[in-house]
């Protein structure tokens, strides 16, 4: 898979965040990983702990909301690469996440994620994928065939999790249609043309639309 192929197949990327994070996002012009925010607040031990509820952290004098990780359970993971469950939690917290999609909406895994927060005061950032890549020439886009933070059993087996969870395009064993998550490590610069979808707008994304290609059964 190449980045050009991915951009053609998935021309937009979507990111859900708490509405009260928008001021920091606009001020910084960037998205930060949960781990980066926690380390800056001297809460390094929390980087390796699952957040069972939303957390509020002070970052650059602004209160930031970090999403819960309720779907993340060790019993649902088949760990590899000598990883412990804490290693997985830290790895997940080290990245910024986007759901790929088209101009109308993200893939169904993204919509399922959004539904968990449909009653909350959240916004969705909608970004042209090619613009996101161009705004971050030194960053390496990484791809996953799973909803990485929501492992579950499939076919009588737990979901695989290990160092190969996120892979660069050249190493991703699959087509753009098989990508569930687009991620970047630590932080990412946002392009100028980011659409901020308010709750009334992104909840309309749940209306029926055309089906996407094959996706992981991992949730």
> Where are the chain's structural domains?
3-19+72-206
Q: What is the mean pLDDT of residues 121-130?
A: 95
Q: What is the mean pLDDT of the chain?
A: 92
pLDDT value at 210 more than 50: no
Q: Which residue has the higher pLDDT, 213 or 164?
A: 164
pLDDT digits (tens, 9 = 90+) for 98-117: 999 999 999 999 999 998 88
Residue 219 has pLDDT above 50, yes or no: no
Spatial distance between the Cα atoms of 200 and 128, rounded to a whole number of angstroms: 21
If you average pLDDT over residues 211-218, what whole number do you get?
A: 51
Query: Cα separation of 167 and 179, whole Å?
Result: 10
Q: What is the pLDDT of residue 209?
A: 52
- What pLDDT is attached to residue 218? 57
User: What is the pLDDT confidence band of residue 199, given thresholds at 50, 70 and 90?
Assistant: confident
Q: Identify whether the C-beta of residue 197 lies closer than 8 Å to the C-beta of residue 126.
A: yes
**How much is the pTM?**
0.91
- 29-75 confidence digits (pLDDT tens): 999 999 999 999 999 999 999 999 999 998 777 889 999 999 999 99
Return the higher-pLDDT residue of 219 and 139: 139
């Amino acid at each position: 898979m190449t980045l050009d192929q991915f951009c053609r197949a998935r021309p937009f990327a979507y990111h859900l965040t708490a509405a009260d994070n928008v001021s920091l996002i606009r001020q910084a012009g960037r998205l930060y990983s949960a781990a980066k925010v926690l380390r800056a607040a001297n809460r390094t031990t929390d980087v390796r702990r699952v957040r069972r509820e939303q957390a509020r952290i002070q970052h650059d004098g602004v209160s930031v909301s970090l999403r819960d990780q309720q779907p993340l359970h060790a019993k649902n993971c088949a760990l590899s690469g000598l990883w412990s469950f804490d290693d997985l939690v830290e790895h997940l917290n080290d990245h910024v996440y986007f759901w790929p999609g088209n101009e109308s909406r993200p893939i169904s895994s993204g919509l399922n994620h959004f539904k968990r927060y449909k009653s909350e005061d959240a916004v969705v950032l909608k970004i042209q994928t090619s613009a996101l890549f161009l705004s971050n020439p030194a960053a390496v886009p990484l791809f996953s065939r799973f909803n990485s933070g929501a492992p579950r059993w499939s076919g009588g087996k737990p979901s695989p999790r290990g160092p190969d969870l996120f892979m660069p395009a050249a190493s991703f064993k699959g087509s753009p249609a098989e990508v569930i998550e687009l991620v970047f490590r630590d932080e990412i610069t946002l392009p100028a043309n980011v659409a901020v979808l308010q709750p009334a707008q992104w909840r309309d994304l749940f209306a029926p639309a055309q089906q996407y290609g094959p996706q992981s059964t991992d949730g």
